[in-house]
């Protein structure tokens, strides 16, 4: 097996170019599905690999409850630098699991707390709260709701408000929070998947923007609504992340002012973009497959070493 055992841990790097290309050239819906799927598969492979390395590591520790076969010389031969790798894998896996559990728990806590904050208000699909801070959120839950502040509404005219509501409704009907949670967990399972998380949070917004544009019937109205609200939200602490390079909002507005994305799922092969996309897709598929292969091989070696 040799160093191939470690492949699933570093192969997520190969998804970076595809994230780049998908973000720029695919329809946002296709890009969101594709990138979330890729992130999910690579994260599962990476975690599986880590778990199996951990087994090799723990089997060497004295007093462990695992089958003796797992520390067989044969098994250890399959993993290069087994002593180091195995022992490093233990804290790494613990960190991954703790981080994922924490992220999932926080996800549910925010949703629960936000739902509770709105208790006492009439059960309408849109909750308008009086606040001088302009913000709007889609709040998925037992009863999907859109939360919007009076400050946000006063800054927009009626068509722009429709665009805003259409955008938030698109988040809810397409269950965008599930995509976001998936990539967030994937990014925690393997830090190399972080660019995919950033890419998906952008493509999900773009997806909702395009949906809103179809609903309202004007891409320019959606662009204006986003631009205006971003400008008057400036200074409001709506996001703690500072974007060093061109942030997502100008890119979204520019995309809406440009031509509508083609409905096709994938660019044609015989163009520069198509070639690049296919090459990147092939690379990612190969990585995912070899990740899976490494993980499965390691599993079988361990299985064979265990007397059943």
Nearer residue to other proteins within complex by CB, 135 or 299:
135
- The two beta strands, 136-139 and 145-149, are antiparallel
Residue 158 C-beta: closest distance to other proteins, Å: 9
Instruction: Find the distance separating the first CA and the last CA of the chain, reported in whole Å.
Output: 23
Residue 15 C-beta: closest distance to other proteins, Å: 19
Binding mask 26-65 for other proteins (x = CB under 8 A): ----------------------------------------
Q: Out of 13, 92, 99, 107, which residue is the one contacting other proteins (CB under 8 A)?
A: 107
Helix runs in the chain, H state only: 7-10, 15-25, 28-60, 73-78, 82-117, 150-154, 158-173, 176-189, 194-216, 219-232, 248-257, 272-305
CA 162 – CA 153 distance, rounded (Å):
10
- Give the footprint of other proteins on residues 169-198 (CB under 8 A): 171, 176-177, 180-181, 184, 197
Residue 22 C-beta: closest distance to other proteins, Å: 19
CA 252 – CA 244 distance, rounded (Å):
16
Closest among 3, 15, 7 to 193, alpha carbons compared: 15
Residue 8 C-beta: closest distance to other proteins, Å: 24
Nearer residue to other proteins within complex by CB, 130 or 259:
130
Nearer residue to other proteins within complex by CB, 20 or 177:
177
Nearer residue to other proteins within complex by CB, 229 or 284:
229
- Give the footprint of other proteins on residues 225-244 (CB under 8 A): 226-231, 233-234, 237-244
- Site for other proteins contains 167 (CB under 8 A): yes
- Site for other proteins contains 164 (CB under 8 A): yes
Which residues are bridge partners to 139 per DSSP? 145
Cβ-in-10-Å burial (0-12, 13-18, 19+) of 90 comes to middle
Q: Which residues contact 184 (CB under 8 A, 6 or more apart)?
A: 103, 107, 197
Question: How many residues belong to the site for other proteins (CB under 8 A)?
Answer: 75
Q: Out of 84, 94, 95, 121, which residue is the one contacting other proteins (CB under 8 A)?
A: 121
- Give the footprint of other proteins on residues 75-104 (CB under 8 A): 103
Q: Out of 90, 97, 128, 276, which residue is the one contacting other proteins (CB under 8 A)?
A: 128
Give Cα 87 to chain centroid, integer Å: 29
Which residues are bridge partners to 93 per DSSP? none
Nearer residue to other proteins within complex by CB, 65 or 120:
120
């Amino acid at each position: 097996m040799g160093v191939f055992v470690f492949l699933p841990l570093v192969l997520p790097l190969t998804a970076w170019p595809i994230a780049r290309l998908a973000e720029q050239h695919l329809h946002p819906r296709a890009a969101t599905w594709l990138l979330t799927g890729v992130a999910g598969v690579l994260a599962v492979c990476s975690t599986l690999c880590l778990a199996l390395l951990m087994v090799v590591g723990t089997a060497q520790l004295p007093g462990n409850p695992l089958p003796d076969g797992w520390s067989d010389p044969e098994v250890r031969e399959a993993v290069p630098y087994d002593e180091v790798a195995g022992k490093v894998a233990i804290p790494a896996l613990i960190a991954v699991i703790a981080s994922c559990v924490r992220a999932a728990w926080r996800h549910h806590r925010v949703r629960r707390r936000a739902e509770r904050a709105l208790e006492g208000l009439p059960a309408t699909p849109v909750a308008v709260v009086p606040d001088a801070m302009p913000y709007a959120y889609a709040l998925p839950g037992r009863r999907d709701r859109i939360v919007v502040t009076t400050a946000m509404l006063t800054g927009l005219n009626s068509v722009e408000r429709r665009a805003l509501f259409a955008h938030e409704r698109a988040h809810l009907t397409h269950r965008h929070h599930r995509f976001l949670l998936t990539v967030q967990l994937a990014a925690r399972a393997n830090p190399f998947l972080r660019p995919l998380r950033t890419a998906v949070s952008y493509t999900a917004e773009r997806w909702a923007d395009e949906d809103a544009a179809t609903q309202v019937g004007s891409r320019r109205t959606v662009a204006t609504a986003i631009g205006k609200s971003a400008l008057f939200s400036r200074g409001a602490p709506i996001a703690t992340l500072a974007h060093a390079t061109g942030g997502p909002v100008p890119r979204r507005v520019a995309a809406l002012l440009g031509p509508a994305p083609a409905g096709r799922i994938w660019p044609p092969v015989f163009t520069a973009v198509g070639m690049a996309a296919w090459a990147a897709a092939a690379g990612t598929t190969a990585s995912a497959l070899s990740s899976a292969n490494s993980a499965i091989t390691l599993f079988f070696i361990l299985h064979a070493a265990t007397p059943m």
